[in-house]
Chains A and B, each alone.
Chain A
Amino acid sequence: MLNLSTGLTALQSNQVALDVIAQNIANANTPGYHRQVAQLVERAPVELNGLFIGTGVDVSEIRQIRSGIIEEALTRNISQRADAGTQLDAMRQIESLLTPGSGSIHDRFQTFFDNLQQLSTRPNDSTLRRIVLQSAAALTSEINSLSDGYLRFRSQLDSEIEQTVDQINGYTAKIAQLNRTIQIASSQGSVPNDLLDQRDELVNRLAELVGVNATQEGGQRVTINLVDGGVLATDSPVPLQVLYSQSGQAEVAIQGFTDPITFHGGKLAGLLEARNQILPDYQQRLSTLANGLIRSIDAVQATGLGSGGSFQRLDGARSVNNVAVPLSNSGMALPASAGDLFVSVTDASTGNRTISRVTIDPATQSLQDVAAAISAIDHVQAVVNSQTKTLTILAEPGYAFDFAGRLETSLDVSSFTGTSSPGLSGRYSGTANEEFQFQVVGTGTVGVTPGLTVEVRNSAGQLINSLNVGAGYEPGSALSVADGVSVSFSSGTANSGDSLTSPMVALPDTSGLLVGLGLNSFFQGTTAGDIRVNPRLLQDPSLFATSRTGQPGDVGNLQGLLALRDSKVLANGTQTFEQYLNDMTVRIGSQVSEQTLITENLDLLGSRLEADRISFSGVDPNEEVVNMIQYQRSFQAAAQYLSTVNEMLDDLFQILK
């Protein structure tokens, strides 16, 4: 009977082999399917009369054709691709917000400066002034919308991170479930290939979300580790959660814990990178740009004059937290630094102008102290509004004040004993604040006495000019001193030692106090999100400070504004506004194009690995058909054998009959 059973095993084994082929052909197009092979083995022979005779064939196992190396590389690649792809998507979003074109922030900057330049042809034309202010408003609203766009994108990323973490938790739970089922099946001795395939597919999908290593342990259990080593799933899952740190970062930690996990690869890593690194970088740059714009333009506006000339009253547009603590601790959004503020006070009836210097030290002075220091100037009063925590400066009736510097028209002649009266004219063109001292050498009559001179010294006490005001000098005529400033002495006497000093103001506010408190500011707000053109200016364009003298055709302040186009105020003094913006644009462009290359390379690598996997583990129907024919023939032969054995047995039975 041995012989019959040998044939039977052949029939059975070939049947199984054919079943496996059927399964292979059926799954030829199933993603992640590993070709299976029925492993045929010889059955143990029996000894008969000293001869070992085979007892047929057995299917020892149905083996999956899989290469661990390829599978692992593929899993890793999936993670990397998801990470790179997610970052690329984020970068593309940022790029699309920054794409130059008509109406873009680039365009707005350009238009604003071009309009300023155009205004110089007719600085007192209200239409041109309005055009400039409107282009500034368009610029600020573009900055606002860019800032809003970034914020929207950030909350989009936040919700995507939360969704991804939810998905990860779902996958790890399923994997843990499968681990348990597979272990039970394995312990019963069978190999649940389809479950293994399912788990592989889940691991790959998980890898798409987060970089993991899957390690097979004894039995059929797979442990899912993060690339760093933390366990995500074994027989039970380790769920994750999203946290938002104090510094505004999104972090992912194991539920019940707060230590943030660092992820390598996977969509989650890409999202976190975009949320915590890439996007904040551009938000930071935009805010630097807005901040620089506010600081520089406000500083020029604050120290200039509109068509209306000096002010009777100015209300601060920016506040502090606390009016009684030193300014440096009072939460000024645009902090002031130690420096000088020069306040010009003009007597409206005589036109006489005096300049007073107020020393500002934010480390020691509170807003109240500053108000007191300004109030110490004659005819001017500074008041702190305790409700709004802002500063208001007022002039007495009949007086006006400004911060435009200029030369004093009313000089302090308390140390001048002669009858000649000195006067200053011109425009100080120096770059630093100075104090000129004029001292008479010799005694006599201006325009008459030979050798009567006036020596001029700067703050450092250096002699910068020595002027003849004696014989040959036309009394009252302007004598050029230095840096565009001229002095005149009217007819009269001058005595040796007579002297007077007058400040030469190049930078009326070296402390940045006016900007910090928003006095006569061009903008409102302090950040990219809330920067706006001061509505006061939009209502009354004549307040836009184009001049430093108040004359309608003067462009002294416009020069300062236009010079901002070429002044390198950003990136540690290496870039202009437009360069900084262009740099930002080119930066995101390069990042996108680099990231695209990385992604393409990973994709290429991925499809090669995929090809390798298909090549190794995929089903070739032709191959299967050949095998099928082979097994079919074996089956036929085995059947033939059985029939032969049968005939042989029949023959034997014939003998018995």
Chain B
Amino acid sequence: MTFRVTPLLFARQAIEHARRHTANLVNLQQQVSTGLRVSKPSDDPAAVRSLLAQKIEVSRIDTQLANIQDARLKLNLSVSQLMEVNSIFVRAQDIALEGNQSNEREVLAREVDELISRLQMVANSKHDGQYIFAGTAVDSAPFVEGANGPGVANTVQYAGSSDRVETAIDSGLWLDVFFSGDEVFQQRSRQQTLFLGQTGAVAGSGTDSAFGQGTLTVRHTSTVYLGVSGVQPGTGSADDTIIGPAGTHVLTVNDTSGTGSNGTVSLNGGAPVAFTSADGNLKITGPLGEAVYVDMTAIAPGFNGTVDIQADGTLSVDGGATTSPITFSGNQVVRDSITGGVTNVDSTNIRRAGTNHLEYTGTADAFQALTELRDDLRNVRNLSESEYHDSMARRIEDLKRVREGILDIVGQQAAELETIDSLERRAQDLQLESQRLISGLESADLSETIVNLQNEQNLLQFTYASSVRLLDQSLLDFLR
């Protein structure tokens, strides 16, 4: 059977084709006018999958770049503040060197005061209302005037947090932007504690926990004269300066009268001192300046010989607020009731009352390094000239150590800045790549689309033209 073609079929097909071409035209026209190939998910589901992912990527990278800017600003700020600290310590070192030679020490000390207040300003500096060196406690000043106890050189205390402040570069990538103040300004590397002074106390075997400098006060409490000599502590015995277990100090009595009414007495082989039985408070000085006050009134008649002395005392590192009895042992722990820090003392050879200046070597923080320099320039501790020079050398060591610590932090932050730079470059590359992908997926290829548009238009015109021509044909035209 041949295929019958009726005008109705003709018309239907003409209409259908025209409709299809028109629909394509509308679609292409939309692409040309919006420039987008994909405007709803069904236009190209596969492309939409990567499009959506890439768009998230682009907006994430936008935020990343903003956060990178912010982190860089904060790190740069921190680095420049720390470079200021560095210059403070460079100057302090110069001052310490000058102080070793010059006699204008008070002038220098005043300059150090200036440096201290500059350091305080830097340490409490803010960015945008947030303290830079407070760790995560960004709302309050991190370095505050601390409790000042007797013998406590620590004038500034850290009140911030020990946690660094982090900023998200991306959800899984966090950078430390603000370091905590304690790790910047309170770096320590404890060494053997230094005991300056004549009491005979030396560092014990234990490890100390006090910082900076301190004072060990060795006090005499009681003197006991052993044996049958009849020598008794004088009424002023409280001012005895000897300390030591029985036998470490010796009194030599020579009763020249034989009745105990008069004679000589000497301490530790020092110059003999004449006494009479009326002496109730006789001061006897030993060869090293140590002194005892004795009561000779009850001396045993005819006593010639030596008297072993036992002199007890106490130790204190908080200026006498709390004391602990001397045990003459290899390690005695003395606690500072104000700071809680402990000092281990080898008290075996303590022989005299007095004070020891303590230097907890390697533990001075930035502020202590400066205040100790200032105090030494003013010679608050009454050091001898040679001790002064030694001490200056140690101050210079401290300053150097603090400065190196600061530079180490600067180094870490510089490394972070480098990381940030490379992160930024990578983020920019990724963003470019994502944007390229997006435009490839989403944008219409204009030249192709326009050619297609033209093509569809032509087809539509052909459809119209041919339909009109063919529909016009009828047998009726040829009848009659």
Contact = CB atoms under 8 A, between A and B. Distances in A.
B246 interface: no
Shortest beta-carbon contacts, A-B, top 6? A589-B41, A448-B206, A592-B42, A553-B138, A120-B168, A553-B136
Contacts of B206: 445, 447-448, 471
A587 B138 CA distance: 47
Contacts of B46: 586
Contact of B5 (A99, A491, A591, A615): A615
Nearest to A92: B42
A377 B40 CA distance: 57
Contact of A586 (B12, B52, B60, B171): B52
A284 interface: no
B139 A615 contact: no
Interface stretch (B25-33, B159-167, B219-227, B454-462): B159-167
Interface string B150-173: 000000000001110111101110
Nearest to A611: B9
B126 interface: no
Given A610-B12, A620-B7, A562 B208 contact: no
Interface in A132-161: none
Nearest to B131: A553
Given A122-B128, A607-B16, 10 more contacts: A92-B42, A110-B60, A118-B63, A471-B205, A491-B342, A551-B161, A578-B52, A583-B49, A589-B40, A622-B474
Interface string A269-308: 0000000000000000000000000000000000000000
A474 B4 contact: no
A476 B6 contact: no
Interface string B2-28: 011111110011001000000000000
A364 B479 CA distance: 99
Contact of B207 (A95, A98, A473, A620): A473
A566 B4 CA distance: 65
Interface in B161-208: 161-163, 165-168, 170-172, 174, 178, 190, 204-208
B278 interface: no
10 contacts: A447-B342, A448-B204, A552-B136, A555-B166, A578-B56, A585-B48, A607-B16, A615-B4, A618-B9, A622-B475
A424 B342 CA distance: 19
Contacts of A110: 55-56, 59-60
Interface stretch (B64-72, B381-389, B393-401): B64-72
Nearest to A622: B475
Contacts of B172: 563, 566
Interface residues of B, number: 71
A347 interface: no
A433 B68 CA distance: 34
A589 B46 CA distance: 9
B475 A589 contact: no
Given A447-B206, A553-B136, A618-B8, A117 B170 contact: yes
A636 interface: no
B48 A29 contact: no
Interface in A98-122: 98-100, 106, 110-111, 113-114, 117-118, 120-122
B134 interface: yes
A565 interface: yes
A453 to B, nearest CB: 15
Contacts of B161: 549, 551, 553-554
Most B CB contacts (10 A, CB to CB) among A491, A626, A629 go to A491
B66 to A, nearest CB: 7
A88 to B, nearest CB: 10
Given A114-B63, A559-B168, A619-B8, A491 B333 contact: yes
A529 interface: no
Contacts of B43: 589, 593
Interface of A: 28-29, 92, 95-96, 98-100, 106, 110-111, 113-114, 117-118, 120-122, 124, 425, 427, 445, 447-448, 471-477, 490-491, 547, 549, 551-555, 558-559, 562-566, 578-579, 582-583, 585-593, 596, 607, 610-611, 614-616, 618-623, 625-626, 629
B277 interface: no
Given A447-B342, A582-B53, A625 B475 contact: yes
A98 B163 contact: no
Contacts of A99: 39-41
B111 interface: no
A592 B39 CA distance: 13
A120 B66 CA distance: 11
A615 B3 contact: yes
B76 interface: no
Nearest to A621: B7
B207 A475 contact: yes
B453 interface: no
Contacts of A555: 136, 165-168, 174
B139 A552 contact: yes
B258 interface: no
Contacts of B207: 447-448, 471-475
B130 interface: yes
Contact of A558 (B16, B63, B71, B168): B168
A615 B2 CA distance: 10
Contact of B136 (A111, A554, A559, A607): A554
Interface in B324-345: 331, 333, 335, 340-342, 344
Contacts of B66: 118
Contacts of A554: 136, 161, 163, 165
Contacts of A596: 42
B286 interface: no
A586 B128 contact: no
Contacts of A120: 67, 166-168, 174
A101 to B, nearest CB: 9
Given A558-B168, A622-B474, A585 B137 contact: no
Nearest to B11: A29
Interface in B101-129: 128
B62 interface: yes
A525 B108 CA distance: 69
A475 B9 contact: no
Contact of B344 (A95, A447, A562, A579): A447
A564 B204 CA distance: 54
A445 B209 CA distance: 13
Contact of B209 (A122, A477, A553, A592): A477
Contact of B45 (A106, A589, A626): A589
B163 A427 contact: yes
Nearest to B4: A615
B163 A549 contact: yes
A641 B71 CA distance: 113
Contacts of B60: 110, 113-114, 117
Nearest to B342: A491
B228 interface: no
Contacts of B7: 28, 620-621
A552 B138 contact: yes
Given A96-B40, A585-B52, A614 B168 contact: no
Contacts of A619: 6, 8
A593 B167 contact: no
B380 interface: no
B342 A95 contact: no
A562 B168 contact: yes
Contact of B163 (A96, A551, A626): A551
